């Protein structure tokens, strides 16, 4: 089959590779019909998460048709059109039973690596290197899906591929950030990042009753999507002084809930951005916590912060003092979307959540290297590139 | 800049490998009998179910001792095992067997990724090191 493989830092190519096959009784093979780029992929492509092996297949946000099932699969059948959660969960361990499926005890095949880096192992994930088990990714014609009964969801009638594919990751990630922040009616919510996850967090906050949602970014076409499609307000942080602007918009209080959807390659026009970039380039810190820092400052006293962006390791200049003295509640995590995806697919079907506008560029899998190029450089208005094998 | 990023990524990989292979010495000045200490996993199953899934541990032979106890908070069963004096088993083997027993009891199968489809894998020093790190990570960890 054909697949997009990582050949080295900032070097991608489509190669012919072996087809996947059933390895365990709860597996299925899915013929991929749509797979999208994700901002977290860029951390792998650029070498910031150095656990990709040359030849690894990239991609984790996808849907397709089941073409083969293992002997213990009971809920899915050949021919089902399914969206697949990017994280692989067994559905039976204590964490899965608590709904924390990204923390699954049983699906990471290299747990010692996470133990060394984080003190515990998170679950497996498609196309994300050895940190999450080394599973082959979804930018391919076919993908092996372990525990398919747990991690796949039949797409409702009338929902297109371009709509449903984002229910794999961006929609449940955004929903989790808003829902688990315990947004109350009347809350003002600030979202850092107007990419797919940030937009979905903003829409989720609106659905959960926030009175005002403000999304912060610098890319004009993404901010335009936020205003025109999501229906939230925007701040371009390159045009205003962010913190006073945010304070003005929130009646002088600061945001009740701050959701960070940027991640470890954050940008800032200020001296803090220069400092963070220099330190990451010199490997004196692994991640740039610029957006997290801004969120901790921008939230009100006693407010809530959710870190949705992906971070790999260590940072300095983390404002622990602000977090402690303001009495903040900080939540974090990879997405636990298994519990939310059926409900979110129904909301997509009812038109409550718009997603297909995110796929600004649809192209053949053969053009995926170009897709990542424009996605990474934010060229031609690219928000997400959708690949059709 | 590209060269700097490449070098930085290589340094990060080496650092990760260093953490993986040297954690014990870094964190414990005078470890107790590290090789033969009890290693424990909590299994979200009854004791009877755990006993029925212990084939990875029994495959290690008579060189280990096991014990089972009820976990607090409705979290199933605590399964502990240790290497007996005189056995030539390595802690990595025991960690793998404990994790596999937990997987069999809870999920009904042992997680695997290989053979996985992949593209061309050049034999670069960094790639070979990553292969070694990933292989070692199956049996390493705080467990």
Instruction: Looking at the structure, tell me whether residues A296 and A195 fall in a common domain.
Output: yes
Sorted by where each begins, the domain ranges of chain B are 2-113+125-137
Q: In chain A, which residues have their Cβ closer than 8 Å to the Cβ of B111? A: 24, 106-109, 124, 133, 146
pLDDT at residue B14 tops 90: no
Q: What is the pLDDT of residue B32?
A: 65
Instruction: Looking at the structure, tell me whether residues A162 and A175 fall in a common domain.
Output: no
Which secondary structure element, helix H or strand E, spans residue B108, and what is its range? Answer: none
Q: What is the pLDDT of residue B95?
A: 97
Instruction: Looking at the structure, tell me whether residues A27 and A165 fall in a common domain.
Output: yes
CATH number of the domain residue A81 falls in: 3.90.180.10
Q: What is the pLDDT of residue B6?
A: 40
Q: Report the alpha-carbon distance of residue A358 to residue A108 in Å, rounded.
A: 30
Q: What is the pLDDT of residue A261?
A: 97
* Inter-chain residue contact A51 with B119, CB threshold 8 Å: no
Instruction: Looking at the structure, tell me whether residues A183 and A286 fall in a common domain.
Output: yes
Question: Which of A51, A72, A97 is closest, CB to CB, to B108?
Answer: A72
Q: What is the pLDDT of residues A165-183, one digit of tens each?
A: 999 999 999 999 999 999 9
| Domain of A232, in residue numbers | 171-332
Q: What is the pLDDT of residue B11?
A: 47
Chain B residue closest to A124 (CA)?
Answer: B111
Q: What is the pLDDT of residues A339-378, one digit of tens each?
A: 999 999 999 999 999 999 999 999 999 999 999 999 999 9
Q: Among residues of chain B, what percentage have pLDDT more than 90?
A: 69
Instruction: Looking at the structure, tell me whether residues A328 and A342 fall in a common domain.
Output: no
Q: Are the beta carbons of A312 and A288 closer than 8 angstroms?
A: no
3-state secondary structure of A196: helix
Q: What is the pLDDT of residues A328-341, one digit of tens each?
A: 999 999 999 999 99
CATH class of the B2-113+125-137 domain in this structure: alpha beta
Q: In chain B, which residues have their Cβ closer than 8 Å to the Cβ of A54? A: 119-122, 124, 127
Confidence of residue B42 (pLDDT cuts 50, 70, 90): very high
**Which of A3, A227, A224, A6 is closest to B9 using CA atoms?**
A6
Q: What is the pLDDT of residues A69-115, one digit of tens each?
A: 999 999 999 999 999 999 999 999 999 999 999 999 999 999 999 99
Q: Are the beta carbons of A327 and A301 closer than 8 angstroms?
A: yes
Q: In chain B, which residues have their Cβ closer than 8 Å to the Cβ of A135? A: 113, 116
Confidence of residue B10 (pLDDT cuts 50, 70, 90): very low
Cβ of residue B20 closer than 8 Å to a chain A Cβ: yes
Where does chain A have alpha helices with state H? Answer: 39-45, 94-97, 111-118, 148-151, 161-164, 170-179, 196-207, 220-225, 242-249, 271-281, 290-298, 320-325, 341-349, 368-376
Q: Which two tokens stand for residue A4?
A: 């997009």
CA atoms within 13 A on the CB side of A289: 17
Handedness of CA A112, A118, A124, A126 (dihedral sign): negative
Environment class of residue A321 by beta-carbon count within 10 Å: exposed (0-12), middle (13-18) or buried (19+)?
exposed
Kindly report the pTM of this predicted structure: 0.93
Number of domains chain A contains:
2
Q: What is the pLDDT of residues A241-292, one digit of tens each?
A: 999 999 999 999 999 999 999 988 778 778 888 888 888 888 777 788 899 9
Residues 6+ apart with CB under 8 A from A94: A105, B42, B44, B75, B76
Strands A212-217 and A188-192, by their bridges, are parallel
Q: What is the pLDDT of residues A23-63, one digit of tens each?
A: 999 999 999 999 999 999 998 999 888 889 999 999 999 99
């Amino acid at each position: 089959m054909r697949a997009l493989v990582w050949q080295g830092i900032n070097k991608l190519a489509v190669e012919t590779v072996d087809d996947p096959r059933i390895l365990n009784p709860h597996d299925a093979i899915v013929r991929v019909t749509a797979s999208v780029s994700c901002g977290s992929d860029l951390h792998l492509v650029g070498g910031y998460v150095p656990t990709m092996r040359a030849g690894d297949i990239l991609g984790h946000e996808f849907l397709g048709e089941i073409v083969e099932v293992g002997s213990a699969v009971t809920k899915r059948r050949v021919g089902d059109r399914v969206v697949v959660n990017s994280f692989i969960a067994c559905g039976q361990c204590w964490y899965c039973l608590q709904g924390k499926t990204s923390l699954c005890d049983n699906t990471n095949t290299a747990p010692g690596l996470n133990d060394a880096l984080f003190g515990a192992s998170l679950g497996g994930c498609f196309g994300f290197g050895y940190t999450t088990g080394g599973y082959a990714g979804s930018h391919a014609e076919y993908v092996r899906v372990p525990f398919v009964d747990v991690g796949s969801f039949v797409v409702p009638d009338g929902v297109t591929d371009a709509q449903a594919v984002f229910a794999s990751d961006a929609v449940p990630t955004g929903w989790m950030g808003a829902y688990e922040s315990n947004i109350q009616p009347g809350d003002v919510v600030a979202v850092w990042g107007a990419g797919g996850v940030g937009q979905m967090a903003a829409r989720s906050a609106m659905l959960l009753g926030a009175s005002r949602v403000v999304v912060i970014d610098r890319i004009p076409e993404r901010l335009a999507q936020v205003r025109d499609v999501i229906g939230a307000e925007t701040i371009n942080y390159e045009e205003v002084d962010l913190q006073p602007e945010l304070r003005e918009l929130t009646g002088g209080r600061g945001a009740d809930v701050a959701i960070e959807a940027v991640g470890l390659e954050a940008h800032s026009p200020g001296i803090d951005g220069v400092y963070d970039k220099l330190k990451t380039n010199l490997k004196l810190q692994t991640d740039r916590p610029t957006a997290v820092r801004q969120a901790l400052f921008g939230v009100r006293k006693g407010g809530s912060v959710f870190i949705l962006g992906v971070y790999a390791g260590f940072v300095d200049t983390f404002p622990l003092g602000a977090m402690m003295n303001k009495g903040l509640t900080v939540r974090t995590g990879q997405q636990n979307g298994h519990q939310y995806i059926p409900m979110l697919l129904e909301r997509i079907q009812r038109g409550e959540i718009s997603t297909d506008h995110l796929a600004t560029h649809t192209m053949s899998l053969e053009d995926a290297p170009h897709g990542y190029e424009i996605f990474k450089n934010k060229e031609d208005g690219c928000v997400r590139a959708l690949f059709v094998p | 800049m590209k060269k700097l990023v490449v070098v930085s990524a290589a340094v990060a990989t080496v650092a990760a490998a260093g953490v993986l292979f040297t954690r014990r010495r870094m964190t414990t000045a005078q470890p107790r009998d590290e090789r033969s200490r009890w290693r424990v996993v909590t299994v979200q199953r009854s004791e009877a179910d755990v006993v029925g899934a212990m084939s990875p541990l029994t495959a290690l032979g008579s060189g280990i001792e096991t014990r089972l106890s009820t976990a607090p908070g409705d979290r199933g069963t605590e399964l502990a095992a240790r290497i007996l004096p005189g056995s030539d088993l390595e802690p990595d083997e025991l960690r793998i067997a404990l994790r596999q027993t937990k997987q069999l009891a809870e999920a009904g199968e042992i997680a695997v990724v290989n053979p996985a489809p992949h593209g061309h894998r050049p034999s670069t020093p960094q790639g070979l090191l990553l292969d070694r790190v990933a292989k070692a990570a199956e049996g390493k960890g705080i467990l």
